[in-house]
């Protein structure tokens, strides 16, 4: 009985600590009060949403549709990055943006390493619509530029400070990092493809399915 009470108190404490918005109406009211809270679909930048296919580390589709959403200011900043890169013949290809909280819970199970998947106890900045996974492409051919690893390669080679790389690969990673940093995104040390939008704290964790938008 005492153990049950302790467990219950722990659950209450965790639930209190981690606020996850699951109600579409609550999201809509917040977005009406503050348009920055709106999730905006990324349609002007090429995407390859691996989590909508079996071609991902879970080997099964996690999203019902291949769509990418970000909070409005992060979406605008990403368009600025795209404009910044274009004169150099470069563009972006986006792998992931907003991710419903329940998907983060599913992803945690097989990996359980916070360097590569977010611990559901904290939630992911993807759950806030304030993180994006992406790479660089050649605007003319659409081909991805050479990067240290494929997307979602959970090895030390994916780290921003891994430098045993060909000079061209180092330069490509730096080009992406510098363009993103200039427009309000911070790199994640363990994944070259992941960037957090500065000020992510002001966006709630959401668990609202794509179909709602």
Residues at the interface with Zn ion (CB under 5 A): 133, 194
Q: Minimum distance between the CB of residue 194 and Zn ion, rounded to whole angstroms? A: 4
CA distance 136 to 176: 7
Greatest CA separation for the chain: 67
In the complex with Zn ion, the residue whose CB is nearer, 27 or 200, is 200
Q: Minimum distance between the CB of residue 85 and Zn ion, rounded to whole angstroms? A: 20
Torsion, Cα 103 109 111 117, to 10 degrees, reads 30
Helix (H) or strand (E) holding 186: strand 185-188
Which residue has the closest beta carbon to Zn ion?
194
In the complex with Zn ion, the residue whose CB is nearer, 38 or 99, is 99
In the complex with Zn ion, the residue whose CB is nearer, 50 or 194, is 194
Contacts of 9 (CB under 8 A, 6+ apart): none
Q: Minimum distance between the CB of residue 132 and Zn ion, rounded to whole angstroms? A: 7
Q: Minimum distance between the CB of residue 1 and Zn ion, rounded to whole angstroms? A: 42
Tokens representing residue 39 in the block: 């999730």
Q: Minimum distance between the CB of residue 95 and Zn ion, rounded to whole angstroms? A: 8
Q: Report CA 81 to chain centroid distance, whole Å.
A: 16
In the complex with Zn ion, the residue whose CB is nearer, 27 or 195, is 195
As beta bridge partners, residue 185 has 197
Q: Minimum distance between the CB of residue 20 and Zn ion, rounded to whole angstroms? A: 18
In the complex with Zn ion, the residue whose CB is nearer, 140 or 195, is 195
In the complex with Zn ion, the residue whose CB is nearer, 27 or 185, is 185
Q: What is the 3-state secondary structure (H, E, C) of 21-80?
A: ECCHHHHHHHHHHCHHHCEEECCCCCECCHHHCCCCCCCCCCCCCCCCEEEHHHHHHHHH
Q: At what angle do helices 72-85 and 167-182 cross, to 10 degrees?
A: 130
């Amino acid at each position: 009985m005492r153990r049950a009470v302790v467990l219950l108190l722990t659950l209450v404490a965790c639930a209190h600590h981690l606020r996850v918005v699951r109600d579409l109406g609550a999201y809509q009211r917040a977005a009406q009060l503050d348009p920055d809270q709106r999730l905006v679909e990324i349609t002007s930048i090429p995407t390859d949403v691996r989590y909508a296919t079996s071609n991902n580390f879970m080997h099964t589709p996690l999203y019902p549709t291949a769509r990418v959403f970000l909070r409005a200011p992060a979406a605008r900043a990403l368009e600025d990055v795209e404009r910044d890169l274009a004169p150099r013949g470069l563009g972006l290809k986006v792998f992931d943006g907003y991710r419903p909280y329940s998907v983060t819970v599913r992803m945690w199970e097989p990996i359980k390493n916070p360097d590569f998947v977010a611990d559901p106890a904290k939630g992911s900045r993807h759950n806030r619509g304030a993180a994006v996974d992406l790479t660089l492409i050649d605007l003319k051919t659409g081909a991805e530029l050479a990067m240290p690893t494929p997307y979602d390669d959970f090895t030390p080679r994916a780290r921003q400070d891994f430098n045993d790389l060909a000079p061209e690969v180092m330069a490509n990673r730096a080009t992406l990092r510098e363009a993103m940093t200039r427009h309000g995104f911070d790199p994640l040390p363990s994944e070259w493809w992941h960037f957090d939008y500065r000020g992510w704290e002001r966006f709630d964790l959401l668990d609202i399915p794509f179909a709602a938008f």
